[in-house]
A and B are shown apart, each in its own frame.
Chain A
Amino acid sequence: RKEVEQDPGPFNVPEGATVAFNCTYSNSASQSFFWYRQDCRKEPKLLMSVYSSGNEDGRFTAQLNRASQYISLLIRDSKLSDSATYLCVVKTLAGGTSYGKLTFGQGTILTVHP
């Protein structure tokens, strides 16, 4: 079983649509959670951190359910510029340290069309 699993999509949605991505992780010791965005042939860029209480950044809302080991990302009012691959990422602390290693999901491809 992969440490971080995502539905690879692709998701094809019209502008203005609401789209939701889901992710599950297997390591219950994971400490931090993120959504990254990756454009074609570019490096991943941090979209937002995910907190237990849920958090929102403009049109983006992230949720975390530690009991179910489940993370979600909701994008409202999709824009053409939202087209990208969205990577679910978990951080697990390296043993005996206070920093972590990131483990990436395969990514979910989103295409927003006019």
Chain B
Amino acid sequence: DAMVIQNPRYQVTQFGKPVTLSCSQTLNHNVMYWYQQKSSQAPKLLFHYYDKDFNNEADTPDNFQSRRPNTSFCFLDIRSPGLGDAAMYLCATSRDGGWSATWVYGYTFGSGTRLTVV
């Protein structure tokens, strides 16, 4: 089945040690998003790619970076993880289907990567 795959499902990293989370999709969607969801909170958008164009949210810390080498893959890099970065990181995709089609499209989410910082 076409889907959004995130690896790994669980990631433990040391305080301050760079970590990379990956996301791949077989849906050929041109928009990819990274969300951070802390315990009992809403998912919060960090940034998104429209094709190769990177769009950062204003309040996303510089510690978070992203790469999209091709349509299928997108990476989230945390340069120096702190204890407060422990969260579920969700990758999602959507397609730009034009004005009318966009109306009903939600996102397709990956299963998420749960990051623990020790």
Which residues of chain A have a CB within 8 Å of any CB of chain B? 4, 31-32, 34, 36, 41-46, 49, 87, 89, 91, 93-94, 97-107
Assuming A41-B88, A42-B112, A99-B50, what are 19 further A-B pairs, CB within 8 angstroms? A32-B104, A32-B105, A43-B90, A44-B90, A46-B106, A46-B107, A93-B102, A94-B48, A94-B50, A98-B96, A98-B99, A99-B96, A99-B97, A100-B94, A100-B102, A101-B33, A101-B45, A102-B45, A107-B42
Asked if B109 and A45 sit within 8 Å, CB to CB, the answer is yes
Number of A-B residue pairs with CB-CB distance less than 8 Å in the complex they form: 68
Chain A residues near B97 (CB-CB < 8 A): 98-99
Binary per-residue interface labels of chain B (81-103) against chain A in the complex, 1 for a CB within 8 Å, 0 otherwise:
00000001010101111110011
Asked if B104 and A98 sit within 8 Å, CB to CB, the answer is no
Interface size range of chain B in the complex: 20 to 34
B8 within 8 A of A: no
B70 within 8 A of A: no
Can you list 29 A-B contacts (CB < 8 A)?
Answer: A31-B102, A32-B103, A34-B106, A41-B114, A42-B112, A43-B90, A43-B111, A44-B109, A45-B109, A46-B106, A46-B107, A87-B42, A91-B106, A94-B48, A97-B50, A98-B96, A98-B97, A98-B98, A98-B99, A99-B31, A99-B50, A99-B94, A99-B96, A99-B102, A100-B94, A100-B102, A101-B33, A102-B107, A103-B45
Asked if B103 and A104 sit within 8 Å, CB to CB, the answer is no
Most-contacted residue by chain A among B41, B106, B111 (CB, 10 A)? B106
Cβ of A30 to closest chain B Cβ, rounded Å: 12
Asked if B102 and A32 sit within 8 Å, CB to CB, the answer is yes
Cβ of B45 to closest chain A Cβ, rounded Å: 6
Smallest CB gap from B88: residue in A = A41
B63 within 8 A of A: no
Most-contacted residue by chain B among A49, A91, A105 (CB, 10 A)? A91
